[in-house]
């Protein structure tokens, strides 16, 4: 691999944005996975597809409409679950298909699939602008600071809602905060892996890390490391071989998971 690619400024932007998104997705995703909300990212991403199509139709920058739609959808999923007692997986399924359906209808009105739509479906990390990079870094920073400040409350209400309530933690507010942050994280990450593969970034590094880590912080750090490794290596490999970064990144993280499973079943991974 030639080191020349590291001198291109688009590559700098791609790597910086990619690392930020990798860290953000693994941290937010860890809470979602532990809440048995693994497909939540998928549902939000699919519904944000409707938002992207809407943005393209009316001529607003599609990510802005996607942020709006995904945050509303995230809150709707939570409300459906609480108010109507629809199970988490069913409400996710409802929203997932509504988003795609709305998106498809809007795309029909606006004259069919274009290159823009494809870049949102499959990601376009090598095309991120300076503005995109600044936005990604700022949102990552804000969300990570919020999580650090409310770390105990978020962890406790993820671990056991009832006990957290008895300890005086405003569990319902924390739940809404988490889905709100997940909504923002999903749209922020669309540029890296696209709508279709988002949940891989949320779920796979965390499932892998849970097999290694003992404590929570250790698990989070391992997950972030795996995630950053997959993203950076994926971007570089895909550029060299001229293949899609999204697919490469996800396959690399699946490789890490598979490797971990092999190590574990060979008895080499002990938790004590």
Q: List contacts with other proteins (CB under 8 A).
A: 34, 36, 152, 155-156, 159-160, 162-168, 209-210, 213-216, 218-219, 271-272
Q: How far is the CB of 57 from other proteins (least distance, A)?
A: 42
- Identity of the residue, 58 or 148, whose beta carbon is nearer to other proteins in the bound complex: 148
Q: How far is the CB of 156 from other proteins (least distance, A)?
A: 4
Question: What distance in Å separates the CA atoms of residue 21 and residue 23, rounded to the nearest whole number?
Answer: 5
- Identity of the residue, 59 or 168, whose beta carbon is nearer to other proteins in the bound complex: 168
Q: How far is the CB of 158 from other proteins (least distance, A)?
A: 8
- Identity of the residue, 174 or 197, whose beta carbon is nearer to other proteins in the bound complex: 174
Contact partners, residue 32, CB within 8 Å, separation at least 6: 38, 40, 41, 178, 182, 202, 203
Q: How far is the CB of 172 from other proteins (least distance, A)?
A: 13
- Identity of the residue, 115 or 268, whose beta carbon is nearer to other proteins in the bound complex: 268
- Identity of the residue, 23 or 207, whose beta carbon is nearer to other proteins in the bound complex: 207
Q: How far is the CB of 154 from other proteins (least distance, A)?
A: 10
Question: What distance in Å separates the CA atoms of residue 164 and residue 167, rounded to the nearest whole number?
Answer: 5
């Amino acid at each position: 691999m030639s080191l020349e690619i590291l001198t291109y400024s688009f590559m700098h932007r791609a790597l910086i944005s990619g690392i930020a998104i990798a860290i953000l997705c693994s941290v937010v995703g860890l809470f979602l996975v532990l809440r048995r909300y693994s497909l939540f990212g998928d549902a939000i991403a699919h519904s944000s597809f409707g938002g992207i199509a809407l943005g393209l139709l009316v001529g607003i920058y599609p990510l802005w409409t996607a942020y709006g739609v995904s945050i509303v959808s995230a809150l709707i999923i939570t409300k459906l679950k609480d108010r109507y007692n629809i199970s988490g997986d069913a409400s996710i399924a409802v929203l997932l298909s509504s988003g795609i359906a709305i998106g498809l209808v809007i795309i029909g009105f606006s004259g069919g699939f274009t290159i823009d739509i494809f870049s949102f479906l499959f990601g376009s990390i090598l095309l991120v602008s300076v503005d995109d990079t600044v936005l990604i870094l700022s949102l990552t920073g804000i969300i990570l600071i919020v999580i650090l400040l409310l770390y105990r409350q978020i962890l406790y209400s993820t671990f056991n809602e009832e006990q957290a309530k008895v300890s005086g933690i405003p569990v319902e507010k924390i739940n809404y905060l988490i889905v709100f942050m997940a909504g923002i994280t999903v749209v922020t990450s669309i540029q890296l892996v696209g709508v279709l593969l988002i949940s891989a970034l949320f779920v796979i590094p965390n499932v892998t890390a849970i097999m290694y880590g003992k404590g929570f912080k250790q698990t989070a750090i391992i997950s972030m490391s795996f995630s950053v490794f997959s993203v950076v290596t994926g971007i570089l490999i895909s550029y060299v071989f001229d293949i899609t970064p999204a697919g490469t990144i996800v396959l690399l993280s699946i490789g890490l998971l598979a490797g971990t499973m092999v190590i574990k079943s060979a008895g080499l991974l002990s938790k004590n």
